Structure 1
Amino acid sequence: TLEGYGSLVLSVAFSPDGQRVASGSHDNTIKIWDTASGSSTQTLEGHGGSVLSVAFSPDGQRVASGSSDRTIKIWDTASGSCTQTLEGHGDLVWSVAFSPDGQRVASGSHDNTIKIWDTASGSSTQTLEGHGSLVLSVAFSPDGQRVASGSHDNTIKIWDTASGSSTQTLEGHGGSVLSVAFSPDGQRVASGSDDRTIKIWDTASGSCTQTLEGHGGSVWSVAFSPDG
């Protein structure tokens, strides 16, 4: 049990080597925890609002954080310093994700858009528009060629990262889509919704193959196991 926050914890992520956990909190900070000892090794400060999402880079050397202050920050995990502040969203940032090569970050915002950022320059290379409401979750496919987004408009969209166009709109949820995740082979997407269900989608056809029922409330987060 990792303790030390004075307010609610909104997001957690493991480092690729499994030796650390990053957590984002309503107290505007990110903490890095050592999973062997359970102690907090760093507190990353600089956001002017709640930290709604955290993600480790594939090499584990950086953490991205999305905040209600409308920015994404990139942090160096060795020094604990903020190396970049990515600005451009018109409202709070609900979700952040690194691409598999670590060269891009995707962010989903309350402004109804997804932005793709170049982590070398810190500039926004694409703004993906098409959702009818806020974007609550984003995820890169394992090959980095697609992004999935879940929205308050009850849909999931699949985007081509080369063209920036939406290739599929997955419809069927009866409430906001709060979380999306690609399977390790990239052939499926899981979605968690305000309608209390998880759906599994085939990314080739765009059809829903399974609806997982049993929860008594909103499903805030979904994740695939490593073997899918």
Structure 2
Amino acid sequence: KMIASASGDKTVKLWRVDGTLLKTLSGHSRGVNGVTFSPDGKTIASASSDKTVKLWSVDGTLLKTLPGYSSKEVIAVNFSSDGKMIASVSRDNTVKLWRVDGTLLKSFPGYSPWVHGVSFSPDGKTIASASETENNSVKLWRTDGTLLKTLTGNGSWFWDVSYSPNGKTIAAASGDNTVKLWKVDGTLLKTLTDHSQPLRGVSFSPDGKMIASASDDKTVKLWKVDGTLLKTLGGHSEGVSDVTFSPDG
């Protein structure tokens, strides 16, 4: 029952959901932009401005560094629900799909030089990406790169995106200091407000009952899906770039 957060201070931090800091993972040479747990909870993937994706065991051991980014920072990373694939997005305007052994499977254009977040649907058939341009949208794709749908908010950019465990809801972290919740058909359900600066990360808990958000205001906030604020976690010395729940919640 852990939460992982990524920060511009070059670290990934692991927390209990009660706010206790468990461990700090150090190894990136620049800020960490994205972080995610594997479905079995044994591996953590982190995406960094040092142009790498790193895989770690939850005890902090560095397992692997994925190649493939020679010139641009990596913004976000996510595992597929079966744990066999990793999706990453970079400033090189691509979404890349990898095997967990580091083999590059596919690379397709994100249709924006500022694609920030990526999330697999629970069935592994669809990928959601969050963008700062292209009408400041969240886009839904097939894994072959076919664009299915574009979700738009109130004009502000989106930095991260997360599917709910049942695949029916999408949460996005917005530059207007809020979390936005949509149905997958594009209907806006709710806007969560309490952060004082733009959001960089968002994640559903495995049971779908909570949402965690990460912000430039140096905090992680935990919410009920109805918008009730449950807890605020502090501890990072810089803005918090991403947040994720461990698979056991």
Q: Could you report, residue by residue, the CA deviation over 1:21-66 in whole angstroms, capped at 9, with x for unpaired residues?
A: 4332324333445679945445321565211111111222211001
Alpha-carbon shift at residue 213 of structure 1 (Å): 6.2
What is the RMSD of the two structures over their aligned residues, measured on CA atoms?
2.9
Alpha-carbon shift at residue 8 of structure 1 (Å): 4.5
Segments of structure 1 that go 5 or more residues without pairing to the other structure are: none
Conserved 8 A contact 2:191-2:227? no
Give the equivalent residue in structure 2 for 1:107. 129
- Indicate the SS of the match to 2:129: strand
The reply to whether residue 210 of structure 1 matches residue 233 of structure 2 is: no
Q: Could you report, residue by residue, the CA deviation over 1:82-139 in whole angstroms, capped at 9, with x for unpaired residues?
A: 22223243232211111111111111112121111111x3211111111422211211
Give the equivalent residue in structure 2 for 1:182. 204
Alpha-carbon shift at residue 192 of structure 1 (Å): 2.6
Q: Give 1:195's match in structure 2, choosing from 207, 214, 217.
A: 217
Range with bigger deviation, 69-78 or 56-65:
69-78
d(CA) in 2 for partners of 1:189 and 1:213?
13
Q: Could you report, residue by residue, the CA deviation over 1:176-198 in whole angstroms, capped at 9, with x for unpaired residues?
A: 12221212221232223333444
Conserved 8 A contact 1:13-1:23? yes
Alpha-carbon shift at residue 145 of structure 1 (Å): 0.8
d(CA) in 2 for partners of 1:26 and 1:160?
32
Q: Give 1:136's match in structure 2, choosing from 149, 156, 159.
A: 159
| Shift in alpha-carbon separation, 1:177–1:144, aligned structure 2, 3 A | same
Give the equivalent residue in structure 2 for 1:77. 100
Larger RCO of the pair (alpha carbons < 8 Å, separation 6+): 2
Normalised by the length of structure 1, the TM-score is: 0.81
Conserved 8 A contact 2:33-2:241? no
Structure with greater Cα Rg: 1
The reply to whether residue 145 of structure 1 matches residue 168 of structure 2 is: yes
1:29 is matched by which residue type in structure 2? T
d(CA) in 2 for partners of 1:227 and 1:34?
16
d(CA) in 2 for partners of 1:138 and 1:39?
26
Segments of structure 2 that go 5 or more residues without pairing to the other structure are: 1-24
Give the equivalent residue in structure 2 for 1:118. 142
Mapping for residues 42-61 of structure 1, pairs under 5 Å: 43-46=66-69, 48-61=71-84
